[in-house]
Amino acid sequence: MIEIDGDRLWHTLMRSAEIGPGVAGGLRRLALTPEDKAVRDQLRAWGEEGGFPVTVDKAGNIFLRLEGQTDGPPVLVGSHLDTQVTGGRFDGILGVLAGLEIIRTLKDRGHVPRRPVEVVDWTNEEGARFSPPMMSAAAFAGVETLDWLHDRRDDDGVRLVDALEAIGYRGEADVGKPVDAYFELHIEQGPELHETGTIVGIVTGGYASHGATVRFHGETAHTGPTPMARRRNALVAAAYAGAAVNEIGLAFAPIGKATVSRIVAWPNKPGILSSFAELTVDVRHEDAAAAEEMRRQAMAAIDEAATRARVDREITSTWRFGDEVFDPDCIALLRDAASALGVSSRDIKSQAGHDAYYMSRVAPTAMLFSPCVDGITHNEAEDVPREATIAAANVFANAVLARADRP
């Protein structure tokens, strides 16, 4: 067994927490902004100081490498350094910096693992600047193309590839390569571990999640004289759909969740009916069949909303994740490490999206959760218990090492 340097891990987390501060103690570090560049530069500096060669691929994903005894595919460990607009200091960040701490510890101990270990920071996991979330892991896993990725645009119309160029992180390496396994440590983002006083969650899988971007096309007209029966207000369709989606979430609670997270309309001004509206919708449930039923109901509600508002509707993108099955061997390594270290654990399913889902399509993958105070996340008040977090990182480190060192 190895033991990481918990103080050093905490120090790197606190250093990261200085880069791109929010207004309430958290972070506002959107993908490919100057703040994201600053934390990427810090990660690269840590890599260079530690003697870990740094590679950047064409999607801007950053890799720090600890060489192994053999030159085979690396064990990949990581998560993301970008945050939501009102982001926390640990969401994603813990996964990258725990990875850094693992290779630092191995190097300090002079332990050369059988296989290389690489740490990855995935570009734009949050989807807060460029939609959809987890796009770089999707491209790495071959689910999406690099051209598609480069062509994503933020709300100001800036293309992702130009944003990469602007901060100097359009790398040379191809996106995607063989990896031996993928491990991700993440805060739970729910209250279960914290409320039950459990140190780690062995993630056995995820909630089945379906998302869609829906567009409504109507017609501009005057808000006054235009008869109700002639109106084609796209914003009204979005409102009906948003209300209906929330009702579906309430009907499937407490396990199911349904969310409308974004409405954009145009012209969206007083005095005029909107000819365009776009809605982002997602539904999630632990049971895949129930999630599918929620998806079906949401789509029916969207159609009904369009009909009632007399507008056309278009589904411009859909995504699904969470029902991928993580690798039993990798899960066993996490369970064994927790057991060997005497750290309390429980099986848990993730309700959030993670890069690990896409990685599970191309490599044996597992995730470990650490506690999140009161389950608060995507909020600047996000916090973690320090000692439990370090204990979780130790469990994680030993599982990663067991994988890298296996015969």
Closer residue to its own copies (CB): 92 or 116? 92
Using CB under 8 A as the binding rule, whether residue 246 contacts its own copies is answered as yes
Which tokens belong to 51?
């003697």
| Cα gap 36→217, rounded to integer Å | 35
Query: Minimal distance in Å, beta carbon 238 to its own copies?
Result: 7
Residues 6+ apart with CB under 8 A from 149: 59, 135, 136, 138, 139, 160, 175
Q: In the set 61, 280, 297, 389, which binds its own copies (CB under 8 A)?
A: 280
CB closer to its own copies out of 140 and 321: 321
Applying the rule CB under 8 A, the residues between 211 and 240 that interact with its own copies are 211, 219-229, 233, 235-236, 238-240
Q: Where are the alpha helices (DSSP H) in 167-272?
A: 192-196, 234-252
Contact positions with its own copies (CB under 8 A) in 44-83: none
Helix (H) or strand (E) holding 284: strand 276-285
Nearer to its own copies among residue 64 and residue 135 (C-beta): 135
Cα gap 55→35, rounded to integer Å:
20
CA-wise closest residue to 6 among 268, 404, 394, 352: 394
Q: Which two tokens stand for residue 126?
A: 């949050």
Q: Which is nearer to its own copies, 67 or 126 (CB)?
A: 126
Taking residues 145 to 184 in sequence order and writing x for each that binds its own copies by CB under 8 A, - otherwise, the string is: ----------------------------------------
Which positions from 344 through 373 interact with its own copies, judged by CB under 8 A?
350-353
> Pairing relation of β-strands 75-79 and 181-187?
parallel
Please, are residues 259 and 252 in contact by the beta-carbon 8 Å criterion? no
Among 79, 105, 275, 370, binds its own copies (CB under 8 A): 275
- In the complex with its own copies, the residue whose CB is nearer, 166 or 263, is 263
Interatomic CA distance for residues 288 and 286, integer angstroms? 6
Q: Which stretch binds its own copies (CB under 8 A): 60-68, 129-137, 159-167, 332-340?
A: 129-137
Kind plus residue range of the DSSP H or E element containing 215: strand 208-217
Residue placing its CB nearer to its own copies in the complex, 29 or 403:
29
Q: Which of 112, 143, 288, 376 binds its own copies (CB under 8 A)?
A: 376
| Rounded least distance, CB 54 to its own copies, Å | 28
Interface stretch with its own copies, choices 141-149, 174-182, 246-254, 288-296 (CB under 8 A): 246-254
Nearest to 187 by CA among 198, 204, 201, 197: 201
Q: Which two tokens stand for residue 302?
A: 């969207």
Using rule CB under 8 A, residue 264 touches its own copies = yes
Nearest approach in angstroms of CB 222 to its own copies is 4
Q: How many residues bind its own copies (CB under 8 A)?
A: 74
Q: How far apart are CA 228 and CA 253, in angstroms?
A: 35
